[in-house]
Amino acid sequence: MRRELKVTLQGHPLTVQVSSGVFSGNRLDLGTSVLLKHVPTPPANGDFMDLGCGWGPIALSLGLSSPEARVWALDVNERALDLTQTNARSHGLNGIRALVAEQVPAEQTFDLIWSNPPIRIGKEPLHQLLMAWLPRLNPGGAAYLVVQKNLGADSLILWLDQTLSERFSVSKHASSKGYRVIEVLARP
C-alpha cells in the first residue's frame, strides 16, 4: 500500500510516495542518509546511475543536484521502479529514468554511480552486480557505495581493489554511524 513520506534531499523538502515491499519502504534508510551526506557534489551533467534505486532517494538527490544529468535508476523490483518514476515526475525531475538492467543499452557508460547496494542478496550475486556496472564508469568517473561495516564493508573494499582492473582505485571515502562510504575512481 502506498503512502506519503516527507523527506529532505539535497536541502529540498519533498513529499514522496513509498510502499511496503520496497527497500526502506517507510523511511529514508540510514545508510542512504550517510551516503548522501558524504558524497562529493556531482558534476552538473553526464550519465549517472542509482544502482538499486528503491523508491528513489538517491536518484532524486542526483536529479535535484544536477538537473541537466541523465539519471539511470535501476532496480529489479517493478514497484520500486514505478515509485521512483512517480516521485521524479511529481517533482519535475525529467532526467530520471527508472528501469531494469536489461533496458540499459550494452554500450552505455556512466560518469557517476551512487548506490546503497543490496548486500543481503549474498556475496556472489552482489559481486556479479558490482562487476556488471562498476567497469562501465567512464575515465575520470566515480562510484560511491554505502555498506554497513558489520556487513562486510572493509572486506568489500579489499575485494573491489583486488578484482577491478588497474584502471580503478578503491578506498574508504568516509565512515559514519556504522557505515563505510566506498569510493571507486576510474583513472582518467
Contact indicator for 121, 129 with CB cutoff of 8 Å: yes
SS3 assignment, position 45: coil
Residue-averaged pLDDT of the chain: 96
* Identity of the residue numbered 150: N
Q: What local confidence, expressed as pLDDT, does residue 177 receive?
A: 96
Q: What local confidence, expressed as pLDDT, does residue 24 receive?
A: 85
Task: Provide the 8-state DSSP code for 41.
Answer: P
Longest C-alpha distance within the chain, in Å? 46
Is pLDDT at 183 greater than 90 in this prediction? Answer: yes
Cα gap 41→6, rounded to integer Å: 23
* pTM for this predicted structure: 0.96
Is pLDDT at 140 greater than 90 in this prediction? Answer: yes
Counting residues of the chain whose pLDDT is more than 70, the rounded percentage is 100
Is pLDDT at 23 greater than 90 in this prediction? Answer: no
Q: What is the mean pLDDT of residues 51-61?
A: 97
Cα gap 169→160, rounded to integer Å: 9
Q: What local confidence, expressed as pLDDT, does residue 92 receive?
A: 97
Q: What local confidence, expressed as pLDDT, does residue 67 receive?
A: 96
Q: What local confidence, expressed as pLDDT, does residue 20 receive?
A: 87
Q: What is the mean pLDDT of residues 79-100?
A: 97
Is pLDDT at 113 greater than 90 in this prediction? Answer: yes
For the chain, the residue count is: 188
Q: What local confidence, expressed as pLDDT, does residue 86 receive?
A: 97
Which tens digit of pLDDT belongs to each residue from 141-157?
999 999 999 999 999 99
